Chains A and B, each alone.
Chain A
Amino acid sequence: MSDIVLETRDLTKHYGGVHALEGVNFILRKGEHVAIMGDNGAGKSTFVRQITGVEQRTRGEILFYGRPVNFAGPLEAREAGIETVFQTLALADHLDVADNLFLGREKLRLRLGPFSILDYKGMREATLKALQKTGVKIPNIHNTIERMSGGQRQCVAIARTATFHSRLTIMDEPTAALGVQETAQVENIIRNLKEQGEPLILISHNMRQVFDLVDRIVVFRRGRICANLRKEETDGQEVVAYITGAKTQPEYADAA
């Protein structure tokens, strides 16, 4: 077996006339942390939505650990082992931290189909453990999400992915709303994943963070990949040049 975790071939998504994603060939290897960068609207979140089954792609192939996959929905992606922090966070505002952490895969005390009885105690204890493990600070876990700051919400969404052991973690701008300390926490979570050898796709606009954390940077521009750079062989200025369109790698020349 090869060491490829995720591969997309000619992955394409059109929203009506909008070509949000066009012929993306992307590879992620075992234990690798890759950043996806690109301007607003470059198609980064769209790429994530195709992989995680939130939307159905227009064309192309997705291989997860060598097997072609067609996730009908995010639950299937999750069951296959893909944990995602979506840019929109995907939290239910009126529910509390534990409810959100376990939303869609609740711990149950008694299985009765849709009327299965919830194991509140088990979920609360696991939530506390998860929050402690990730160092996320929330004064009261019984608070509903709507009463939390933007950063705290983000922390909850991240704690959710970190709680469950995964075969691939995807984070779409996880630190966009976070303060200095919280950003550092999240970066620690990411380093932990690296130590445990869990692969990660990180979408971020923060150049310092990307250079601190990942092995490789893939740049998206107008729905196409325009550069694939090893961290050691590039620098911030060059990445910016790729993002803005001042430069394009020869092998992706048709992206321009």
Chain B
Amino acid sequence: MADAAHGLGGLKYDPKKRAKPPELNVFIALVVIVAAFELLGWLLYRDSFLFNTRPNVDAIFNWARLNIIILQVSIVGIIAIGVTQVIISGGIDLSSGSVVGATAMIVMSFAQTAVVNGNPNPKAIFGEWAMDLPVIVPVLVGLGCGLVAGLINGLLIAYTRIPPFIATLGMMVSARGLSKWWSNGNPISFPTESYAAIGKGMMPVVIFVCLAVLFHLILRYTLYGKHTYAIGSNEDAARMSGINVARHKVLIYAIAGMLASVAAIVLSSKNLTAQAGMGVMYELDAIAMSVIGGVSLAGGRGSIVGTVIGALIFGVIISGFTFLKLDAYYQEMVKGAIIVGAVVLDQWRQRRMASRM
């Protein structure tokens, strides 16, 4: 079978020399960056980035730091799973950070507990009827918010042919407005215990990993995935092949919106509060994770595996700067540089691919 698969035509072909998966390069980049921080750590502070150096702890790795890295990236990582699909299809989603904000505010209003330390909840948004609801209510409300935002994005993009950049920019501004208007800028706090359990401890990581595996399988093995790549690769070809491009785009943005709302639920549960400013700039972090992970802004290329490694690189860099005791302002500047750098890298990759054709 394998012979026949490759025996067509006169050219010699060596099946053992399959093209390396592109994720390999991203993984190597991750290893190199970790090694660089390790080296800098020893040079500057005589301390290890990766390994345990405290004598009272019995472990090889510095698990505390590794856990923080993974925990830090998993919430934005959930958004990045959706953003990856959007970018593979040739689009972009700038609204996810604001959708997180709006969803968190709305969800939290349905997740409050009636009594805090023997007193009525001081942050109550609604009356008695919205207190101590079963956890499924806020979760469904949250997913609904993400779904609506994503559907609006998708319908605008698919049927009015507004560029995705503009449509989702509009959603970004509107959803942020909604989150500020919702409680006149007041934070919403004191969720029920069952709601607080969603994002407790390492739960965000568990949710991130499960969703990453699920969507990896979906992108790889289902019609949805194949058509997402096809649309990003050549939208006209997809249309001529009979794919309902408009309907598929609506589905992609709806899923991206729902993933942003999952991030909002996890984040508000983890923080035990929702604020109007939640999720600011998350959209850019998510785009950066995807692009670092090899998702091409031109569409058609990328994978969830790549994005997960991209998210880890992102987390390692942020945590590495803390480790090197650089202050927060530097970190912001560096983050900006990472985002621009990732896009430059993507452009460069595209040119290189083009010259190989």
Residues of chain A having any CB pair with chain B under 8 Å: 52, 54, 73-75, 78-79, 84, 86, 88-95, 99, 103-106, 108, 112, 114-118, 120, 124, 128, 131-132, 136-142, 146-147
Contact = CB atoms under 8 A, between A and B. Distances in A.
A104 B231 CA distance: 11
A115 B222 contact: yes
A103 B224 contact: no
Contact of B8 (A74, A88, A93, A138): A138
Interface in B1-33: 4-6, 8-13, 15, 18
A173 B241 CA distance: 18
Interface in B201-251: 218, 221-224, 226-227, 229-230, 232-234, 236-244, 248, 251
A138 B4 CA distance: 11
Given A92-B300, A95-B233, 18 more contacts: A73-B239, A74-B241, A86-B240, A88-B236, A88-B237, A90-B240, A92-B230, A92-B238, A105-B242, A106-B226, A114-B222, A114-B224, A115-B223, A132-B8, A141-B5, A142-B5, A147-B356, A147-B357
A41 B241 CA distance: 24
A52 B240 CA distance: 9
A137 B240 contact: no
B211 to A, nearest CB: 15
B270 interface: no
Contacts of B9: 137-139
A78 B242 contact: yes
B242 A74 contact: yes
B176 interface: no
Q: How large is the interface on B (under 10, 10 to 19, 20 to 34, 35 or more residues)?
A: 35 or more
B240 A92 contact: no
A114 B243 contact: no
Contacts of A104: 238, 241-243
30 contacts: A54-B240, A74-B239, A75-B242, A88-B237, A90-B241, A92-B229, A92-B238, A94-B229, A94-B233, A99-B226, A99-B230, A103-B243, A104-B241, A104-B242, A105-B242, A106-B226, A114-B222, A114-B223, A114-B248, A114-B251, A115-B218, A118-B222, A118-B223, A120-B221, A137-B11, A139-B12, A140-B6, A140-B13, A141-B5, A141-B8
B6 A139 contact: yes
B241 A93 contact: no
Contacts of A112: 222
Contacts of A91: 234, 237
Nearest to A89: B237
Contacts of A146: 353, 357
A93 B233 contact: yes
A110 B4 CA distance: 27
Contact of B13 (A90, A114, A139): A139
A88 to B, nearest CB: 7
B253 to A, nearest CB: 14
Contacts of B353: 146
Contact of A94 (B4, B6, B232, B241): B232
Contacts of B5: 124, 128, 140-142
B230 to A, nearest CB: 4
A108 B221 CA distance: 10
B18 A142 contact: yes
Contacts of A52: 240
A254 B13 CA distance: 57
A142 to B, nearest CB: 7
Contacts of A131: 8
B258 to A, nearest CB: 14
Nearest to B237: A90
A101 to B, nearest CB: 10
Nearest to B12: A139
A54 B245 CA distance: 13
A39 B244 CA distance: 33
B243 A116 contact: no
A244 B355 CA distance: 39
Chain A to chain B: the 10 pairs with minimum beta-carbon distance, closest first: A75-B242, A137-B9, A104-B241, A104-B242, A94-B300, A92-B233, A139-B11, A90-B237, A90-B240, A94-B233
B12 to A, nearest CB: 8
Nearest to A124: B5
Contacts of A139: 6, 8-9, 11-13
A5 B223 CA distance: 33
A147 B18 CA distance: 13
A128 B233 contact: no
Given A103-B243, A116-B223, A90 B232 contact: no
Given A104-B243, A124-B5, A146-B357, A94 B301 contact: yes
Contacts of B356: 147
A88 B241 CA distance: 12
Contacts of A136: 8
B300 A93 contact: yes
A225 to B, nearest CB: 25
